[in-house]
Amino acid sequence: MNMARGRTGLKAAVVALGLMVAGTTGVHASPIVTYSTSGQVGTTGVTGTPVISFGSILSTSNTSFNAPSAFSLGDFQVAPLTGTTSTTYNNTPFSISYIVSNEDGATATPVQITGVLNGTVTGNDQSTVVAKFDPISNPNFVTGSFNNTLSIFDNPLSLVPSTTHDGQTTAQAFLSTSPSTTPPPSGGQNEVPEPTSIALFITAIGGLGWKRLRRPAA
């Protein structure tokens, strides 16, 4: 009778621990995103000496953030002009590629961000130039077990002259994330329980079995 109860208790413990291990493998933490950008300013629509460039986030910098969060795409850089000379921008195109090198152990197809510049830079201390971003054509992408949506944080964005913050104006974006409801592919990381869960499972089973073997017969 005691042996039957022991077997029943052991089976119940096995089921409970199995459910616990299965549950722990489905937990998602906020992902750390490592990324870079590649941006450039076009030359069409420029009257005068081009003075605006874009400083990208280099892949060698291993820049990262914990999503969801706002983050920097890089900086628009306004160089000084001499005296009262000026340069005018009329629907001058710019483009920025957002490149994910690692998020939840995966990469993603670069997201293209475009827009135009309008306004005038005069001397070294005046700027009326505004960067207006276009709607992102493909803002949604998947990395590992996360769905992502990219949006522009400040739009339109006024560019400062060279005498303010060395002429640098940061272009910001926002990345929202949520766990994917799509089951992971065969061999995906969520199919294998964590090592700590496996160790706990084996230790508990072994302890219950040893206790039952040492119990004196009725």
CB atoms under 10 Å from CB of 216, counted, come to 5
When pLDDT is averaged across residues 122-137 and rounded to a whole number, the result is: 97
Q: Please check the confidence at residue 97 and state whether its pLDDT lies above 90.
A: yes
Q: What tokens appear for 66 in the block? A: 């914990």
Q: What tokens appear for 127 in the block? A: 């700027």
Contacts of 100 (CB under 8 A, 6+ apart): 33, 34, 35, 107, 108, 110, 141, 143
> What was the pLDDT predicted at 188?
43
The rounded distance, in Å, linking the Cα atoms of 178 and 148 is 7
More reliable by pLDDT, 137 or 5: 137
> What was the pLDDT predicted at 180?
86
CB 76 within 8 A of CB 119: no
pTM above 0.75, yes or no: no
Q: In the predicted model, what is the mean pLDDT of the chain? A: 83
